[in-house]
Amino acid sequence: MRKIDIFDTTLRDGEQSAGINLNTAEKLEIAKQIERLGVTIIEAGFPASSPGDLEAVSLIAKTVKNSIVTGLARAVKGDIDAVWEAIKHAEQPHVHTFIATSPIHMEYKLKKNPDEVVEQAVAAVKYAKEKFSLVEFSAEDAFRSDKEFLVRICQEVIKAGATTINIPDTVGYASPEEYGALFRYLRENVIGSENIKFSAHCHDDLGMAVANSIAAVQNGADQVECTINGIGERAGNAALEEIGVALHIRKDFYGVETGLNLKEIKRTSQLVSRLTNVVIQPNKAVVGKNAFAHESGIHQDGVLKNPETYEIISPALVGEDEVPLVLGKHSGRAAFRDRAETMGFQLSDEKLNKAFAEFKKLADRKKEVTEEDLTTILTEQQVSIENVPLFELKSVQVQYGTENIPTATASVVTPEGEVKTLAATGSGSVEAIFNTLEQLVNGTVNILDYRVKSVGKGRDALGEAVVNLKYNGFTSTGRDSAQDVLEASAKAYLNAINRQLIQQRVREEQAVMN
């Protein structure tokens, strides 16, 4: 079967979604899980956009071995140099450079004529080829570009050394028939197209990103660019999990394979959702919590008699296996470490000890510790930053009654190691907690969003809280979990403040260096 490369851009295009702000540890954790999923290429970021992004891309390039790591660059030398600085340690250094080619982008954004755009694209690809063996060129807003101009610029960048040409539907305007026809046209008219890969990159503004991507595959695309859970700017990108499963389930029709380890889909989806704080809609294809649920009596009867009556995808295919009890309160450290490694976590001894202590506390209070519980505990430790003094919650207590004003009292260890006990009131228990913790910082904290959800099922399930706030002019999102949602809320608030303090420290260090 023809092999289709999967190019994952969760950490670049996906992270551009409004409200997503991943730190380096979180990006690395997602990259390692995407590598386990078996994608061909991981676009780890846009190194020229910030020193933090360059650092994250560099760390991913040094860590990931089984997927090609790339970074995005505008068609300028400085951006390409930044990608090289980040990617040069990788097994196969790869750069993804782009310039817009549609009339509206060239006139209003670039303020260049077509000849100038071709000249800049060719110069960028030639320069990149001096450093990278793998050079991908993207014609931004390709679908709305003149087809003859696309042929021209594709031919010129192929001569300059491009190994992949990406034809994005940047604004999600295409229909499957039109997008597929464009790839067929380019295959038939671009001189040298037999020597390069064509890549599809679709946005979901009209809800057709996955359909358009598959249409491109049917018409000569060798690579599909997509994101986990379909996250991305505006309405998002084509969803990797939907493309991967669709091409697998209907390989009799499409005749292609991707090399993805589909059993890692559920874990990858949940990790990205947890770290980006983007909730997966219940009816989301493949990974939504209702994807394998059957409410209708007729459906239930059919599934009981033969699952294939209504399930074209088996839950096991995407890693939706039931693991109700993985460890108990009598489990030892060795068993805990073994289970963590089996789940793909590689923690330092210090982090493992902290995770084990959290597990023991939970096991004493819960009848069953599920895989979802363990994933939450281990993920929190995996992405935590070691040896950095931050705020740490020691205890929180809330006094509440329908006839009384809610009052919260919290004890917190400050970054200086001092224990402070504070109290405040609010119109509700959560507001009282937030008002109490706000006294720890200098300045006003504005809560932009606050959400609580359960991890797993049952009345003893963990509660996970997400707090999005603005502090000192910057936004930050924190999350944490506990069996008590008020404790989880307090910890999430401090997590958001801590993330802001870390970023502030980084900005100050960069200012000194500059």
Low-confidence winner among 29-38, 383-392, 431-440 (lowest mean pLDDT): 383-392
Q: Are strands 223-226 and 5-8 parallel, antiparallel or unpaired?
A: parallel
89 in a labelled binding site: no
d(CA 440, CA 77): 45
Classify residue 365 as exposed, middle or buried by CB count within 10 Å of its CB (0-12, 13-18, 19+). Answer: exposed
237 in a labelled binding site: yes
212 in a labelled binding site: no
Nearest CA among 70, 118, 115 for reference residue 97: 70
**pLDDT band at 89, cuts 50/70/90?**
very high
d(CA 420, CA 412): 5
Which CA distances in Å does 66 have to 91, 176, 382? 9, 32, 21
Q: Look at residue 296 in the predicted model and tell me its pLDDT.
A: 47
Q: Look at residue 319 in the predicted model and tell me its pLDDT.
A: 87
Span 117-129, average pLDDT: 98
On the question of pLDDT at 300 being above 60, the answer is no
The SS3 call for residue 424 is strand
330 in a labelled binding site: no
Cβ-based neighbour number of residue 127 at 10 Å: 21
Nearest CA among 8, 6, 67, 11 for reference residue 223: 6
d(CA 5, CA 19): 29
Q: Look at residue 324 in the predicted model and tell me its pLDDT.
A: 45
d(CA 67, CA 234): 28
Q: Look at residue 362 in the predicted model and tell me its pLDDT.
A: 85
Nearest CA among 424, 399, 492 for reference residue 452: 492
Span 434-441, average pLDDT: 96
> What share of residues in the chain are helix, strand, coil (percent, to 5)?
45, 20, 35
Structure tokens at 43: 């676009």
Structure tokens at 49: 């956009």
pLDDT in tens, 378-407: 888 888 876 677 899 999 999 988 888 999
Q: Look at residue 200 in the predicted model and tell me its pLDDT.
A: 98
d(CA 264, CA 268): 6
On the question of pLDDT at 304 being above 90, the answer is no
Q: Look at residue 472 in the predicted model and tell me its pLDDT.
A: 83
Span 485-506, average pLDDT: 90
On the question of pLDDT at 301 being above 70, the answer is no
Work out the mean pLDDT of the chain and round it to a whole number. 91
Lookup result for tokens 């030639």: 126
d(CA 507, CA 37): 34
Partners of 99 in the β-ladder: 139
d(CA 418, CA 58): 36
pLDDT in tens, 351-369: 899 999 988 888 888 777 8
Structure tokens at 379: 């993920």
Q: In terms of pLDDT, which residue wins out, 179 or 18?
A: 179
On the question of pLDDT at 220 being above 90, the answer is yes
Q: What is the largest CA-CA distance in the chain?
A: 79
- Distant-in-sequence contacts of 506-512, Cβ < 8 A, 24+ apart: 506/51, 506/52, 510/51
**pLDDT band at 306, cuts 50/70/90?**
low
